[in-house]
Structure 1
Amino acid sequence: MFDKRLVQEGRPVWRYLLLTVGLSMGIAFLAVAQAWFVSRVVAGVFLEGATLRTVWNALCTILGIIVLRAVLQCVSEISAHEASSRIKLSLRKRLMNHIVSLGPVYARGERAGELITTVVDGIESLEEYFSKYLPQLVLAVGIPLLILGFVFPLDWKSGLILLLTGPLIPVFMMLIGKLAEKKSLHQFQDLSWMSAHFLDILQGMTMLKVFGRTKDQVRVISRVSESYRKATLSVLQIAFLSALVLELLATMSTALVAVTIGLRLVYGTLSFSAGLFLLLLAPEFYTPLRTLGLNFHAGLSGVNAAGRIFEIMDQPLMGIDEEAVNKEGDTLKIRREHVLSTDFHLSFQNIKLTYQPGSTLALNGINLSLHSGEKIALVGPSGAGKTSLAQLILRFIEPTAGEIYVNGGLHRTISLESWREQIAYVSQSPYLFAGSIEENIRFGGPSATIEEVMTAARGAAAHEFISQLPDGYQTQLGEGGTLLSGGQAQRIAIARAILKDAPLLILDEATSGLDSESEHYVQQALKRLMLEKTALIIAHRLSTVRQADLIVVMEQGRILEQGKHEELMRKQGLYYRMVTEYRGGSI
């Protein structure tokens, strides 16, 4: 199984791969030399009456060849594994960078467990492809040709038998290749699906327990595991069958060579030493072909995994190219500048957005301006497009139609790195990484001192509860911040945003999950923080919305109305209905 694109991954380590093949060819040459010395020693002892003294040098040479072959074999394997390790490292880093660059929108559309299987197990399966299968693909041609170069001058009949029977093994491998490929692909897909579903169960354990559906999911896992077991057995059956056939072909071919040599030895048309030399070379001729057959399934697993890896890496990235193209097709150079560090103007012009071709518009004809220092609140029912608008600013997605301008220039001509450095974002469900509280807050400012971290925590009303923890800021959090309540996790996320001190704030339900007292402190902190900042606030809290310079009311991807609170209440439109229908300060 030869995959051109996968083979190209070996270019950076071609020296290691070349060394592996070269050493293996050297080992094959030494095997020929060893066979020649052995045949001379045996013929000398049994036919010519040679003594130990006369064959001593030959025996020492044979011993030296055996030791040298072992050393070369060891170096060859080290070189092969070094090559495969470097390829895996490079590919895993590029794949992870690509997935991260694709952003949260792509990740939400995929099953996390399946992606984990691809990044971990999928790339790991390339180990044997590069360390064993790919070098063996070359050796399966090179070593037989090397041996034929010694056999034909000595006995063309034996050489002809080897030449005619040798290709039977690759032909057989080609015949079973398609069947084996389908079985192996099915096995990898089942493994990915099982990993994905198992992760879903772990993440949804609370809901499964509450709704009493644990046994149902266990049965699903059992069915998937059974499917994976059957797929694995199918692959193993083909592997065992092919190994048996390959062994049979090699054994029968070697026996055929032995019979023809034996007959000619009986009739005296071939010398004993030459016949023994040929008999010793026959297994060496078929060994690389048999080894290729044994590694064929490992190579096939690598190719199938690579198919999924390249499928992910072929997903187009948005907004990270060195060049952008405007509507007229002109090439625009990417800018690396802090455009939000001074007075700026962010403008949405006739923005339309769909997440999938042909699907309903998530945003439809959005025209909106955001000036430096303004606080704009986005309100509306669920699914109105508020978060989609925030994701456009963060450039997690690109508009299907329309353009976003910053200070009159195209938004997408600014490099992602420099753009996102100027934005702080707090989502409705912030994620905390496994690590200390200090490390999680420090995401907003990697070079911040502990005093700055604590100041940010105080601003987010988080310092008090952090100080009460046994290890304070060094308290280790579980995955997703499992040791903290929802409100506490939200305050840690707000502390990150405060520490980042970015000129543009995007607050997506930033005060949700807080009790009244904490919300009061956080609201005051955010109010002070936003005095010299520009803020886009997605909120349901009436107290948060009323502070905004402009309230934008959205529904079904459109802007229905905009204005200040009093102005919108006088219009008695959607905003008025939302305020009057809901109670408890939420809209």
Structure 2
Amino acid sequence: MRPLDPRLLRHARAARGYVALTAALGVLTAALVVAQALLLAHTLGAAVSDGATLTVLGPWIAWLAAVVLVRALVTAVQERFAHRAAARTVGELREQVVAHAVALGPRWLASGEGPSVVTLATRGLDALEPYFVRYLPQLVLAATVTPGVLLVVLGLDWVSAAILLVVLPLVPIFMVLVGRLTQGRSEQGLASMQRLGAQVLDLLAGLPTLRAHGRERGPGARVRQLGDAHRLATMGTLRIAFLSGMVLELLTTLSVALVAVGIGLRLVEGDLDLVTGIAVLVLAPEVFLPLRQVGVQFHAAADGVAAAGRAFEVLETPVAAAGTTTAPDLRTATLRLDGVSVAGTPHELDLVLRPGTVVALTGPSGVGKTTALEVVLGLLRPDAGRASIEGVDLADVDPSSLWAQVTWLPQRPVLEPGTIAQLVGGDEASRVTAAALTGLDAVLADLPLGWATPLGRGGEGLSLGQRQRVALTRTLLSPTPLVVLDEPTAHLDAAGEQVVLDTVRALRDAGRTVLLVAHRPSLVAAADDVVRVRAAAEVPA
């Protein structure tokens, strides 16, 4: 685990400016530490040895107070910008991780990476804040203050400098040993947190089904077990932090004591003047202080460093290069799948999607109907076969130019927070006409605010059937030439099914192309072409 991973500077622009600022403030802090020690030594030396009065010591005390004040201001500035840099860096990494995960496609997310990315992009990367606020500044101070102060001590008293040089390497050696042990603990903690997050997400997604079968309490033991594993990993890291902190404090205290004893003996024998002795005695703890703080804050930052490492693994996962060719106009272009196979589901699928037609994909569950839709949408590249529009391979097409011509309605509609009017779009007249066709007008009649009714995330505030009507109305009002419907009649009653049928007919009458996944015979009968999707296991050898 690197103290400062170069990938952090490469992926987070906010981190680069912060590191430069921290280095500059570290050099300034080193100068202030030396100035404070020398001013204090001269003030005390003059007072003790020469019996100087307060009038004589006044200027020295004023300068000492000024240095202390500036040092406090530097610390405040450091902490202020640390919090800002942490928030910006976490935001940048979070945005990049989510965008890269989306670019990797649904197959990569479905391989088990999806829930872990969710946990990483939310709670995981938040652990980077202690790294920026506490650990990184102390690391920079260890690289600036420690050698700078050591050089000053060498100029004042070579004997004390020799003692410090002999003892000083023991601190980083011990920190490396502790770091190796802590790294494993932090990675275990992050892994257990990701497993816990994935389990909870899966549980929430399947909770309605579990409740329907009376099994909603079944996964509780597993979630509790994962929670205990995360707690034990966290407590193990804290145990190491406390023990290593105690050892570091003992080591540095003994080291400073050796210097103090040497100074005291030479002061008694007259081999060292008081001012030099006081200056070295004040500077000796400052040599160890940054290293001690690095050791103390290392454990607070370890979780963030582990999360950043996981984020870099996601960001460095190669993504297939996106196409640059503008997609042909789907109002007149034909989309084809020729012998397309994706991990055996579907297997050797042939599909011709002509403008203005309704094509239904049928077949048992698990044969790859939704996967076929993802290939058509350019979200997934086939392992074998070819997907093309008017002879142009989909892999060469700019995805944004394709998606701008497509409206996709998944099994569970994705509705953003907002009013129903905002979600549906269109002008008032077109909304009223579309709502009458989809049955949304009946839903609005029961809502006091009508079109102005606010909905939460995912359409919270409406039933599943009502959300489907909102999504179908939005689909009708969208101007895209291609509409993709993934099992639009799932979870709907007979009245809801009729609404979907009327919507599909209206889309076809408007000259729009419809590709849908269908199980119910009535929806299959409404299609112009029916394509049966097969899995490799269904094909005889």
TM-score by length of 1: 0.85
- Bigger Cα displacement from structure 2, 263-272 vs 123-132: 123-132
Structure-2 change in CA distance of 1:71 and 1:398 (3 Å): same
Deviation at 1:197, TM superposition (A): 2.5
Deviation at 1:435, TM superposition (A): 3.9
Map of 2:228 onto structure 1:
226
Describe the SS at the equivalent of 2:348. strand
Q: Deviations along 1:27-70, whole A, 9 cap, x unmatched?
A: 22112111111111111111111111111111111111111111
Bigger RCO of structures 1 and 2 (CA < 8 A, at least 6 apart): 2
- Bigger Cα displacement from structure 2, 542-551 vs 204-213: 204-213
Give the residue type in structure 2 aligned to 1:548. Answer: A
Equivalent of 1:344 in 333, 336, 340:
333
Equivalent of 2:469 in 484, 487, 491:
491
Map of 2:386 onto structure 1:
403
Cα distance in 1 between the residues matched to 2:226 and 2:133: 31
Structure-2 change in CA distance of 1:366 and 1:525 (3 Å): closer
Map of 1:362 onto structure 2:
345
Q: Deviations along 1:489-521, whole A, 9 cap, x unmatched?
A: 222221221121311122222234444344434
Matches within 5 A, 1:306-325: 306-318=308-320, 321-323=321-323
- Bigger Cα displacement from structure 2, 259-268 vs 22-31: 22-31
Map of 1:544 onto structure 2:
523
Please, what is the CA RMSD of the aligned residues? 2.4
Cα distance in 2 between the residues matched to 1:503 and 1:170: 65
Q: Deviations along 1:424-458, whole A, 9 cap, x unmatched?
A: 2222332334443334334xxxxx44554444333
Count of residues paired in the alignment: 536
Map of 1:329 onto structure 2:
none
Give the residue type in structure 1 aligned to 2:407. Answer: A
Cα distance in 1 between the residues matched to 2:448 and 2:110: 36
Deviation at 1:478, TM superposition (A): 4.3
2:268 is the counterpart of 1:266: yes
Cα distance in 2 between the residues matched to 1:68 and 1:439: 54
Map of 1:21 onto structure 2:
23
Check conservation: 1:490, 1:513, Cα contact below 8 A. Answer: no
Deviation at 1:224, TM superposition (A): 2.2
Deviation at 1:378, TM superposition (A): 2.0
Map of 1:281 onto structure 2:
283
Give the residue type in structure 1 aligned to 2:84. Answer: E
Cα distance in 2 between the residues matched to 1:169 and 1:485: 63
Map of 1:124 onto structure 2:
126
Equivalent of 1:134 in 133, 136, 141:
136
Map of 2:102 onto structure 1:
100
Equivalent of 1:426 in 406, 409, 426:
409
Deviation at 1:293, TM superposition (A): 0.6
Equivalent of 2:366 in 350, 363, 383:
383
Check conservation: 1:377, 1:539, Cα contact below 8 A. Answer: yes
Q: Deviations along 1:216-254, whole A, 9 cap, x unmatched?
A: 433333322222222111101110111011111110110
- Bigger Cα displacement from structure 2, 125-134 vs 71-80: 125-134
Matches within 5 A, 1:498-509: 498-509=476-487
Check conservation: 1:379, 1:386, Cα contact below 8 A. Answer: yes
Structure-2 change in CA distance of 1:499 and 1:98 (3 Å): farther
Deviation at 1:117, TM superposition (A): 2.2
Give the residue type in structure 2 aligned to 1:336. Answer: T
Cα distance in 2 between the residues matched to 1:106 and 1:437: 34
Deviation at 1:11, TM superposition (A): 5.0
Describe the SS at the equivalent of 1:555. coil
Map of 1:510 onto structure 2:
488
Check conservation: 1:424, 1:500, Cα contact below 8 A. Answer: yes
Matches within 5 A, 1:92-241: 92-110=94-112, 114-241=116-243
Give the residue type in structure 2 aligned to 1:390. Answer: L
Check conservation: 1:434, 1:477, Cα contact below 8 A. Answer: yes
Matches within 5 A, 1:528-539: 528-531=506-509, 532-539=511-518
Deviation at 1:151, TM superposition (A): 1.1
Check conservation: 2:98, 2:117, Cα contact below 8 A. Answer: no
Cα distance in 2 between the residues matched to 1:433 and 1:394: 21
Give the residue type in structure 2 aligned to 1:4. Answer: P
Check conservation: 1:351, 1:364, Cα contact below 8 A. Answer: yes
Deviation at 1:557, TM superposition (A): 5.3
Deviation at 1:338, TM superposition (A): 4.6
Give the residue type in structure 2 aligned to 1:378. Answer: L
Map of 2:400 onto structure 1:
417
Deviation at 1:100, TM superposition (A): 3.0
Check conservation: 2:322, 2:397, Cα contact below 8 A. Answer: no
Describe the SS at the equivalent of 1:363. coil
Cα distance in 2 between the residues matched to 1:454 and 1:160: 87
Cα distance in 1 between the residues matched to 2:322 and 2:221: 50
Give the residue type in structure 2 aligned to 1:489. Answer: R
Unaligned runs of 5+ in 2: none
2:55 is the counterpart of 1:77: no
Q: Deviations along 1:7-30, whole A, 9 cap, x unmatched?
A: 434555423322222113212211
Deviation at 1:81, TM superposition (A): 2.5
Describe the SS at the equivalent of 1:405. strand
Structure-2 change in CA distance of 1:338 and 1:136 (3 Å): farther
Check conservation: 2:8, 2:15, Cα contact below 8 A. Answer: no
Check conservation: 2:347, 2:533, Cα contact below 8 A. Answer: no
Unaligned runs of 5+ in 1: 324-333, 355-360, 443-447, 561-587
Equivalent of 1:372 in 334, 355, 364:
355
Give the residue type in structure 1 aligned to 2:514. Answer: A
Cα distance in 2 between the residues matched to 1:544 and 1:389: 18
- Bigger Cα displacement from structure 2, 17-26 vs 395-404: 17-26
TM-score by length of 2: 0.92
Describe the SS at the equivalent of 1:110. helix
Cα distance in 2 between the residues matched to 1:16 and 1:314: 23
Equivalent of 1:480 in 458, 461, 472:
458
Deviation at 1:274, TM superposition (A): 0.6
Describe the SS at the equivalent of 2:347. strand
Structure-2 change in CA distance of 1:517 and 1:228 (3 Å): closer
Describe the SS at the equivalent of 2:465. helix
Describe the SS at the equivalent of 1:404. strand
- Bigger Cα displacement from structure 2, 7-16 vs 140-149: 7-16
Equivalent of 2:442 in 457, 464, 468:
464
